[in-house]
Amino acid sequence: MSGVGKGVATASIGKILQAKGFRITAVKIDPYVNVDAGTMNPTEHGEVFVLDDGWECDQDLGNYERFLDKNFTQANCLTTGRVYLSVINKERALSYGGKCVEVVPHIPLQIIEDIDAAAKKDKAEIVLVEIGGTVGEYQNILFLEAIRFLKLKHPKDVVTILVSYLPLRNNDNELKTKPTQYAVRTLNSTGIQPDMVLARASVPLDQKRKQKIALNCNLEVEDWSALVGRIKRLKKTVRIGIVGKYFGTGSFILSDSYLSVIESIKHAAYEAGYKPQIDWVDAGNQGSLSKYHGVVVPGGFGGRDIEGKIKAIRYAREKKIPFLGLCYGMQLATVEFARNVAGLRGANSTEIDKKTKYPVIDVMPEQLEKLQGAKYGGTMRLGAYPALLKEGAIARKAYGTKKISERHRHRYEVNPEYIERLEEKGLVFSGKSPDGVLMEIAELPKSKHPFFLGTQFHPELKSRPLSPHPLFREFIKAALAKKGR
């Protein structure tokens, strides 16, 4: 079923295999017709995760990267739309030699070809393939058919695992297995017999049996087990507020829209010996921010609740609350500084106000032509780009190196026309593209603020449980200092 934890299960299995010394890779299959996840609303599908090569994909790729400490590319992402597009392009190029191209077998064969390509690219010994959705849905039938083909051709080299949920009946606290039985039977009807069933339930196995399994399987999981044990023992907390707009969907509040941000905060807090208490702060309804030890304004698009975010940024700046702005958050921090410190009243981003008198944030010139065609899926600066850090800056100290590489997903940049004015008033652009044209990091010096920093890129996409991102590490360190004040 959807949301049962297939992504985390896939990443966990990968971690075990990795600990045994295997070279692995992973492929996430999403049954939607979109070619990628870039144009989908985060409340519909969760966070859009950006890879090094600029590909926009499902948030499960973030789980893969965090668990496996490995960077993936578009070769590791498949959708129904992308597979069909490949087959159609081949047909147009006469790659099928004039044959009648049919849904079966050509679509499943293309899926197998793409999985094989991912394996070869990463020189993998084992490929983990996660099929999204629920067994029995018509959307993923062709992907299941591809797995059946693979199993038929390589019976000893293909293992199928069903991830299922065991509900707990309230009246007698009995775990019910009927849904899992039915799921296995449904999977059987597609020609697939699962080799393993991974059952999720609210009643956990005890630690003794977990340790026994790990011992008998000869798993080297000391670091990971130590992290889990450390997390369980944590009692002290640090309170972080995330100010965003992608929380509400109907009557529910979802955290998936900012999953990587949340995980990155956890990584850094756990390392510091604290359990993060993360609150969702609606940009349109902030309440008091004074109770937080740190404030994060994450990425986003559009003009909704922008003034609320800018007010939150101003409050954090003036009240010396540690602040971390990510992508759009960095742009809005620049707007706030321009308005309230640099004296550019009415300053704005042209994404919000195309007629603003002071366009301190503007679209990159090379993107104008694409934007005019409104082809939003391919108009952004996507993927990993290098940046050079300023000596003595907070960012340079955090990274411990001059040159970095981080992942981007944006169309707008700090307008070069206003950089000198902003710097004169105290804003430090501590990270720039190698040619010095694009501003990658903006910060205030320690003499002005304990931690006020924004990034044009998305550092949350490269944080790992055993290796927190340097900027999140510094942010949490500042938050703990405030907590102690």
pLDDT tens digits along 185-194: 888 889 998 8
Residue with tokens 């400490």: 69
Q: What is the rounded (10 degree) CA torsion for 85, 88, 89, 93? A: 170
pLDDT-derived band at 286, boundaries 50, 70, 90: low
| Full domain range(s) for residue 401 | 227-484
Per-residue model confidence as pLDDT tens digits over 65-84: 998 899 999 999 999 999 99
SS3 call for 477: helix
Domain identity same for 231 and 212:
no
Q: Following DSSP, what letter does each residue of 194-206 receive, concatenated?
A: -SEEEEE-SSPPP
- Chain-centroid distance of CA 400 in Å reads 24
pLDDT higher than threshold 80 for residue 445: yes
Check whether residue 262 and residue 283 sit in a common domain. yes
**By the 8 A CB rule, do 145 and 80 touch?**
no
Least confident residue range of 63-67, 285-289, 457-461: 285-289
pLDDT score of 323 more than 70: yes
Q: Which residue is associated with the tokens 């993998």?
A: 124
pLDDT tops 50 at residue 133:
yes
DSSP string, 149-160: HHHHH-TTT---
From the list 43, 68, 80, 72, the residue with the least C-alpha distance to 56 is 72
Q: How confident is the model at residue 285 (pLDDT cuts 50, 70, 90)?
A: low
| 274 has pLDDT over 90 | yes
Q: Are 284 and 308 in contact (CB under 8 A)?
A: yes
Residues 83 and 136 in one domain: yes
What backbone phi and psi angles, to 5 degrees, belong to 383? 95, -170
Tell me the backbone φ, ψ of residue 283, rounded to 5 degrees: -60, -25
Higher pLDDT pick, 304 / 81: 81
Task: Give residue-wise pLDDT tens across range 238-258.
Answer: 999 999 765 555 545 556 678
Three-class SS state of 63: helix
Q: Share the mean pLDDT of the chain.
A: 87
Let me know if residue 248 belongs to a domain: yes
Nearest-CA neighbor of 316 among 338, 333, 335? 333
pLDDT of 303 higher than 90: no
Say whether both 26 and 78 belong to one domain.
yes
Annotation marks residue 100 as catalytic: no
The answer to whether residue 1 sits within a structural domain is no
329-357: b or e for each residue (b if 16 or more CB lie within 10 Å)?
Answer: bbbbbbbbbbbbbbebeebbbebbeeebe
Which has the higher per-residue pLDDT, 335 or 177? 335
DSSP H or E segment with residue 86: helix 80-92
Catalytic residue among 406, 460, 469, 474: 460
327 labelled catalytic? yes
Q: Are residues 386 and 237 in the same domain?
A: yes
Q: Is 460 helix (H, G, I), strand (E, B) or coil?
A: helix
CA 303 from centroid of its chain's CA atoms: 22
- What pLDDT is attached to residue 219? 46
In sequence order, what are the residues at sequence separation of 6 or more whose Cβ sits closer than 8 angstroms to the Cβ of residue 319?
289, 290
- Work out the pLDDT band at 333, boundaries 50, 70, 90: very high
Kindly state the average pLDDT of the residues 288-309. Answer: 87
Is 186 a domain residue? yes
Sheet holding 412-414, edge to edge: 348-349, 359-363, 412-414
Query: Comparing 42-56, 75-89, 385-399, 418-432, which segment has the lowest mean pLDDT?
Result: 42-56
* Span 400-419, pLDDT tens digits: 999 999 999 888 999 999 99
Largest CA distance in the chain: 74
Domain membership flag for residue 196:
yes
**pLDDT reported for residue 164:** 84
Kindly state whether residues 202 and 232 are assigned to the same domain: no
Same domain, 182 and 240: no
Name the token pair of 439: 């501003």
Mark which of 169, 186, 220 sits at the end of a domain: 220
61 vs 206: which has the higher pLDDT: 61
Q: Does 193 reside within a domain? A: yes
Number of domains the chain contains: 2
Does 304 score more than 80 pLDDT? no
Residues 125 and 266 in one domain: no
Q: Which tokens is 10 given?
A: 């896939």
**For 10-47, how does the pLDDT look when each residue is reduced to its tens digit (9 = 90+)?**
999 999 999 888 899 999 998 889 888 877 877 676 78
Read off the pLDDT of each residue in 276-295 and give the average, rounded to a whole number. Answer: 85
Through-space distance between the first and last CA atoms of the chain, rounded to whole angstroms: 47
Query: 463, 71 in Cβ contact below 8 A?
Result: no
User: 164 has which bridge partners?
Assistant: 199
Domain termination site, one of 184, 205, 220:
220
**What is the separation of C-alpha 61 from the centre of its chain, rounded to a whole number of angstroms?**
7
Q: Are residues 408 and 471 in the same domain?
A: yes
Residue indicated by tokens 């590490």: 473
Q: How far apart are CA 260 and CA 242, in angstroms?
A: 12
| pLDDT computed for residue 210 by the predictor | 46
Q: Which of 187, 220, 253 is the last residue of a domain?
A: 220
> What is the C-alpha to C-alpha distance for residues 39 and 24, in angstroms, rounded to an integer?
30
Q: Report if pTM > 0.75.
A: no
Structural domain includes residue 419: yes
Output DSSP code: residue 324. Answer: E
Taking residues 46-67, report their average pLDDT: 86
Are 232 and 363 in the same domain?
Answer: yes
Question: Residue 217 pLDDT more than 50?
Answer: no
Helix (H) / strand (E) element for 440: namely strand 439-443
Helix axes 80-92, 103-121, angle to 10 degrees: 100
Is residue 395 scored above 60 in pLDDT? Answer: yes
**Does residue 215 surpass a pLDDT of 80?**
no
Which one is catalytic: 267, 410, 449, 458?
458
Q: What CATH number corresponds to the domain at position 445? A: 3.40.50.880
Task: Return the residue matching tokens 């590489």.
Answer: 405
Q: Tokens 């490995």: give the residue.
A: 70
pLDDT at position 301 is: 73
Report how far apart, in Å, the C-alpha atoms of 75 and of each of 64, 120, 192, 454 are: 14, 10, 25, 31
Residue located via tokens 């008998």:
216
Inside any domain, residue 313: yes
The pLDDT of residue 371: 44
Residue 78 lies in a domain: yes
The first and second tokens of residue 189, run together, are 């009807």
Q: Is 458 a catalytic residue?
A: yes
Note whether 21 and 64 are same-domain residues: yes
Q: Are residues 39 and 145 in the same domain?
A: yes
Residue 203 to residue 470: CA distance in whole angstroms = 36
| Residues 338, 353: Cα–Cα separation, whole Å | 15
Q: What band does 98 get if pLDDT is binned at 50, 70 and 90?
A: confident
Does residue 122 sit in helix, strand or coil? coil
Selected catalytic residue, list 327, 336, 351, 443: 327
β-sheet bridge partners, residue 174:
169
